[in-house]
Amino acid sequence: MKTDSIIKENVLDELSWQPNIDETQIGVIVENGVVTLSGVVDNYSKKIAAEKAVKNVKGVKAVADDIEVLYGIEYKKTDKEIAKAVVSAYEWNPSVPNNKLTIEVREGWVYLSGELEWNYQKDAAKKVVEDLIGVKGVVNNIKLKQAVKPSEIKQKITKAFERMADLEAKNIKVEVDGHKVKLKGKVHSKAEKDEARRIAYFAPGVDEVSNELEVVY
């Protein structure tokens, strides 16, 4: 089992390995496998990239992202300008049916709401916004229509787990309550835990995934 000091060293190495991240701007604290990131970056996509990079490090149990996004004067945008940029970006993205969404911008934070058919549309709506200049954060409150019965959702997710060579499906329990899915059991890495969550989100009708999988090394 890795110590916190080794995990911290590995996290710093992973951050320095990423071409779009300046690791000198990011502070790292590790306590019992939980990594807290701090510091300041100049765009939201770098904040997301840092968080994703850390999640790939073996031994990391959870990530608390306290990184602040602070744009330079030349890149600052008003809420109105950001809102227009979001609408324009959606018009050019076929994965996002923007006529079904409500967009609100407050102090650089973008709040998304509405109802869509598929989770990939919900994810696309968020990812499109993440790369826009001036955005400090995204709150994705988009809901999904109940396309299939809860029993069918559970069956689809379980079968998807069984098809994946990197996941031990027998160790993962799937619970479904309406649009919400809860994953319980044990996996061998943070990457496996994240992969299980990603697969569960692919099931039609899934709006929320509570990932309670325990990482056992």
Tell me: do 36 and 97 sit in the same domain: no
pLDDT score of 200:
87
How many Å apart are CA 78 and CA 174, to the nearest integer? 43
Domain count, the chain: 3
Tell me: do 165 and 180 sit in the same domain: yes
DSSP designation for 72: -
- Record the tokens describing residue 198, joined without a space: 């990603």
Query: For residue 81, how far is the Cα from the chain centroid?
Result: 25
User: Are 37 and 69 spatial neighbours (Cβ–Cβ below 8 Å)?
Assistant: no
Tell me: do 15 and 50 sit in the same domain: yes
Residue span of the structural domain in which 177 resides:
150-215
Tell me: do 86 and 64 sit in the same domain: no
Tell me: do 63 and 108 sit in the same domain: no
Q: How confident is the model at residue 73 (pLDDT cuts 50, 70, 90)?
A: low
Tell me: do 83 and 130 sit in the same domain: yes
User: Is residue 155 scored above 70 in pLDDT?
Assistant: yes
Using the 3D structure, point to which of 14, 43, 69 is the last residue of a domain. Answer: 69
Using the 3D structure, point to which of 41, 69, 97 is the last residue of a domain. Answer: 69
Tell me: do 37 and 19 sit in the same domain: yes
Average pLDDT across the chain, whole number:
86
Tell me: do 60 and 84 sit in the same domain: no
Burial class (CB in 10 A: 0-12, 13-18, 19+), 141: exposed
Tell me: do 155 and 121 sit in the same domain: no
Using the 3D structure, point to which of 15, 45, 69 is the last residue of a domain. Answer: 69
DSSP labels, 32-100? TTEEEEEEEESSHHHHHHHHHHHHTSTT--EEEE-PEE---GGG---HHHHHHHHHHHHHT-TT--GGG
pLDDT, one tens digit per residue, over 194-216 is 888 888 887 777 878 888 988 88
Tell me: do 65 and 78 sit in the same domain: no
Tell me: do 85 and 125 sit in the same domain: yes
Tell me: do 170 and 209 sit in the same domain: yes
How many Å apart are CA 49 and CA 54, to the nearest integer? 9
Q: What's 121's domain CATH number?
A: 3.30.1340.30
Q: What is the pTM of this model?
A: 0.53
